[in-house]
Structure 1
Amino acid sequence: MGLHGKLVAAIEFKAGGDVFHELLRHKPHQISTITPELIKGCDLHEGEFGHVGSIICWDYILDGKVKKAKEVIQLIDEEKKLIQLKVIEGDLLELYKDFVFTSHIETKDGIDLVTSTFEYEMVNEDVEHPFSTLSLVVDVIKAVETHHLAQP
């Protein structure tokens, strides 16, 4: 069994992909307001939201427990509406030597998809792939969509 993995989820986003990208890039702290049952907080530790090199710390609920992830923004590509974050501290690093999250927007046949990708290396062969973490991200995307569709 290989220790490297990649998981991808592409979720239709009826509120417009630009909405999700802008929220994740410039206002990630608002995600905890929209989804308090999933994301408990998002704090800026260094730099500015939406800028490469900035460090963000997330508090989230996974499998009924509060978890933390400190991430550095590695890459932003406005043309692809892409943001890439690398986990540098937190609970995920107990299971994974390396963990990178990428979000980008794809438009196919007039439908916006929020595509979330995890690339990771497990610390050993006994570690499971991060399916529950990906499920959490999908739940957050759907909750943000529902929130924005309900806005006047």
Structure 2
Amino acid sequence: MGLTGKLICQTCIKTDGDVFHEIFSTKPHHVHTMTPKNIQGCDLHEGEFGKVGSIVIWKYTLDGKEMVAKERVEAIDEEKKSVTFKVVGGDLLESFKTVVITVHVDTSGEDNLVTWSFDYEKLDESVKDPTQYLDLVLSMTRDIETHHLPK
């Protein structure tokens, strides 16, 4: 078993993919209102929302436990509709040396495909792959989609 890995999950959404991308690229502080069971807050620590280099602090619940992730916005690609965050502090770094999370929305065609990827390096062989985070982001994605569906 290696210490580095990559996990990817994809799901189709029925709502506007541009809106989904905009939420993570410029309005992550709105996410908690759409998925409060998963995300309790996203606070700006440094910089500006929507700007590369900014640092945000996510408060989230995973497996019933309140957790925190401090992330730097590494890249925002408007053309490809992707946002990349690098974890620079918080609970994840207790088990992982590095974690980079990318959310990408493919808006070509009738469906909008959301892809989440987690690139990581474990601190040691005893650390399990972060598969529970895939469940978290899929649940978040469904909640955001439901929030934007016509009532």
Normalising by structure 1, what TM-score? 0.96
CA-to-partner distance for each residue in 1:117-140, whole Å, 9 max, x for gaps? 000001111111111111101100
Residue in 2 aligned with 1:26? 26
Following TM superposition, by how much is the alpha carbon of 1:107 offset from its aligned partner in structure 2, in angstroms? Answer: 3.5
1:140 has 2:140 as partner: yes
Q: Secondary structure in 1 aligned to 2:14? A: coil
Which residues in structure 2 correspond to 1:76-95 (within 5 Å)? 76-95=76-95
Residue in 2 aligned with 1:66? 66
Amino acid of the residue matched to residue 51 of structure 2? H
Q: Secondary structure in 2 aligned to 1:74? A: strand
Following TM superposition, by how much is the alpha carbon of 1:19 offset from its aligned partner in structure 2, in angstroms? Answer: 1.1
Identity %: 52
For structure 2, which runs of at least 5 residues remain unmatched after alignment?
A: none
Q: How many residues align?
A: 151
Amino acid of the residue matched to residue 9 of structure 2? A
In 1, are the aligned partners of 2:87 and 2:99 still within 8 Å (CA)? yes
What root-mean-square deviation, in Å, do the aligned CA atoms of Structure 1 and Structure 2 show? Answer: 1.0
For structure 1, which runs of at least 5 residues remain unmatched after alignment?
A: none
Where do 4+ consecutive residues of structure 1 move more than 3 Å?
Answer: none
Following TM superposition, by how much is the alpha carbon of 1:108 offset from its aligned partner in structure 2, in angstroms? Answer: 5.2
CA-to-partner distance for each residue in 1:15-54, whole Å, 9 max, x for gaps? 0211110011111111101111110110001111110000
Normalising by structure 2, what TM-score? 0.97
Hey, what's the Cα distance between the residues in 1 that align with 2:150 and 2:3? 42
